[in-house]
A and B are shown apart, each in its own frame.
Chain A
């Protein structure tokens, strides 16, 4: 702290004798470096964000068994329980009757099911 004060006093004394700025280039570079170093670090930090997809959120559930549920069937009576399908490949699609894109993807899903049903894929 005291060193800093001394230095600034000295600077002022210098100024009084020789006001030319170019007499103490070393001092100037040091200040410049002190100012710019944090900015460079900041820019580098921002650079780490480039090329990442901020929407990519790794789910905690990946690699975990799917939570089970039991819901009434639409095509027939009774309920369907996900627990009963343990060990099979199951595609679960959430949709609603009023959802236009859901209707559009319906055909594609039905076709996919028709193609893979022999291999034990179940589409809900």
Chain B
């Protein structure tokens, strides 16, 4: 029954996608609003049908309907209900259902958002989204078959991959990542629509600004949650391994970040038009590349879904996106001339350009490192793998340079800055950097630490000073309290303040990452029961093993006391465990973490259980990692800043932006 409902819903959704694309194009060409209206309705219906398909799978998972092959391979009677629901996206076919759900959701949201006021590009953008949706619907109807049935239903299923049923973060990491990935479809669709109609002014960008920021926020959260999952589940003490699939999720984030900055240059100065269109086509293409590499069995990765036959289809789609997108930009380039040129290197647009170049260098570096094994194998036939040293060495200097530009960018005005004014604004950040660097040098920190944290202090001070300046201006102008001045400043230019908050979040994250990279320590210790072993500045005592039987697994919990070597007091009691799943040949560990807070110096104490010998001895990996908590905090602050920047403002005659120069160019701003 679920198989029939699901397949039928998907087939109908595909028919609607084809109809919607046709109707939108016909409506656009003939200018008949009623035809476009029917395309909009088709978008709603398509979304409803994809919801039905997902619910059918969910119902089958919850009802232990093992006649469905997907349910039999990815769930079992003993699987807890929560993880049964997550099984919806814990394998290739199911996650494609989720993909279709999110894409259908965006399609319906676009149809809803432009229900009253329809820009000229709208029907074409809708058509592009219908086409993309059709592609992903074809994938779940033919090459992969989530609703395939088995001739005889097995009495029980195999259960989800043990790694994927070991932590609740699996509930949120994939959906956020998908919301981010797929969200870039909207600006891409409007960009293509602009290229098709030849209305390549700035309208497509303004229309999609908040869609792009939303996608970026989701992707940021998805990436941070992925890192958090890796840190809390895998037990290796790290959070980012430069795994190909992590990389391909980072790539659109990097290029999307470049896009978010360079669109501001086009809005203000009418420059970089080809550049912006290329960036959004590139960002979308990178999301498709990510899907291709992950699902097309191209690169070995912990995320790769094996035995997929859809590789050639993804590649054809990717090629179409690349050739179509960039081909159309080349075709329209005559009408994409810049309206202005760069006046001086000392201006905000120049810094934005520098930021873009650096972000693209980062994108390119990560891309090369990720597909280099493919290149090497194509040329020499040998197997090569590119690991962390390559990425760390090549990205860190570029990232630091980027950080520097992030500090000075907001201080510079548009067009041209007077050097003396810039120097005046740089005073506070320079002092902050100098004091931080001097303090660190006095405490005996290494050169790298002095440079990195000095730079971070510079950027943080510059960012905070910029915020304070705006708030003080409000106070002076209106004679109001600090609290209401903050509110007024943010309301007046929420994009600027949102952006500055994102910058602050990024600095916090960078400080955390650098601190952990420079100062984390680890050792592997084997301890007999009751014995005390000294490791990394702490005394560790193994207090024995307890076994917990759960329906789907057996859990071996080791009791590990972390003691202060001076006083002998217990600092924390950690309980790393090993989980034995019947379907897994190796035990899956669950590390135990004492999270760093400002009260304990932001130091994470992290233990994972490696092996146990009955109750007598156990081996642990013990990590002392300062600063990692700042990464999660920074990610949260970035998401918050993004929300502030994307917060809807009512377009009013006395819009806050009207106070800024070049207001005449902003008349068509409606988002």
Contact = CB atoms under 8 A, between A and B. Distances in A.
Interface of A: 15, 21, 28, 31-32, 35-36, 39-40, 42-43, 45-55, 57-58, 98-102
15 contacts: A35-B329, A46-B318, A49-B378, A50-B296, A50-B315, A52-B377, A53-B297, A54-B298, A54-B299, A54-B304, A57-B383, A58-B383, A98-B587, A99-B585, A102-B585
B331 A28 contact: yes
Interface string B324-342: 0011011101110000000
Interface in B359-375: 371, 374-375
Interface string B606-618: 0000000000000
Contacts of A98: 580, 587
Given A45-B375, A98-B580, A100-B580, A35 B298 contact: no
A55 B298 contact: no
A30 to B, nearest CB: 10
Interface in B300-316: 300-301, 304, 306, 311-312, 315
A55 B315 contact: no
**Chain B contact residues: over half helix, strand or loop, or mixed?**
helix
List the 4 shortest-distance A-B pairs measured between CB atoms, nearest first: A54-B300, A49-B298, A48-B378, A43-B319
Nearest to B278: A35
A116 to B, nearest CB: 24
Interface of B: 289, 292, 296-301, 304, 306, 311-312, 315, 318-319, 322-323, 326-327, 329-331, 333-335, 371, 374-375, 377-378, 383, 580, 582, 584-587
B331 A49 contact: no
A99 B582 CA distance: 8
Contacts of B301: 54
Contacts, number: 81
B334 A36 contact: no
Contacts of A54: 297-301, 304
Given A21-B335, A54-B301, 7 more contacts: A28-B331, A31-B330, A35-B329, A36-B326, A49-B299, A54-B300, A100-B582
Given A58-B383, A99-B586, A100-B582, A35 B374 contact: no
A51 B308 CA distance: 10
A21 B322 CA distance: 23
Contacts of A100: 580, 582, 585
A102 B587 CA distance: 12
B298 A42 contact: no
B365 to A, nearest CB: 16
A101 B585 contact: yes
Nearest to B329: A35
Nearest to A57: B383
Nearest to A55: B300
Given A36-B326, A50-B296, A45 B374 contact: yes
A43 B318 contact: yes
Nearest to B580: A98
B298 A46 contact: yes
A35 B327 contact: yes
Given A45-B375, A58-B383, A50 B312 contact: yes
A72 to B, nearest CB: 16
A54 B329 CA distance: 35
A18 to B, nearest CB: 11
Contacts of B585: 99-102
A28 to B, nearest CB: 7
Contacts of A50: 296, 298, 311-312, 315
Contacts of B587: 98
Contacts of A48: 374, 377-378
Nearest to A49: B298
Given A43-B315, A46-B315, A101-B585, A32 B331 contact: yes
Nearest to B325: A39
Nearest to A98: B580
| Max chain B Cβ within 10 angstroms of own Cβ: one of A31, A49, A100 | A49
B336 to A, nearest CB: 11
A36 B329 CA distance: 11
Nearest to B321: A39
A48 B373 CA distance: 11
B251 to A, nearest CB: 13
A15 B584 CA distance: 68
A88 B326 CA distance: 62
A91 B300 CA distance: 28
A35 B326 contact: yes
A47 B296 CA distance: 10
Contacts of A46: 289, 292, 298, 315, 318, 371, 374
A83 to B, nearest CB: 28
A101 B584 CA distance: 7
Given A54-B304, A100-B582, A47 B327 contact: no
Contacts of A32: 327, 330-331
B322 A42 contact: yes
A66 B330 CA distance: 59
Contacts of A101: 584-585
A90 to B, nearest CB: 22
Contacts of A58: 383
B580 A43 contact: no
Contacts of B378: 45, 48-49
Contacts of B333: 31
Contacts of A51: 311
A52 B383 CA distance: 12
Nearest to A33: B330
Contact of B322 (A43, A47, A53): A43
Contacts of B323: 36, 39-40
Contacts of A40: 319, 323
A85 B366 CA distance: 49
B326 A39 contact: yes
Nearest to B585: A101
A47 B299 CA distance: 12
B554 to A, nearest CB: 9
A51 B378 CA distance: 12
Contacts of A36: 323, 326-327, 330
B117 to A, nearest CB: 30
Contacts of B327: 32, 35-36
A36 B328 CA distance: 10
Nearest to A48: B378
B613 to A, nearest CB: 11
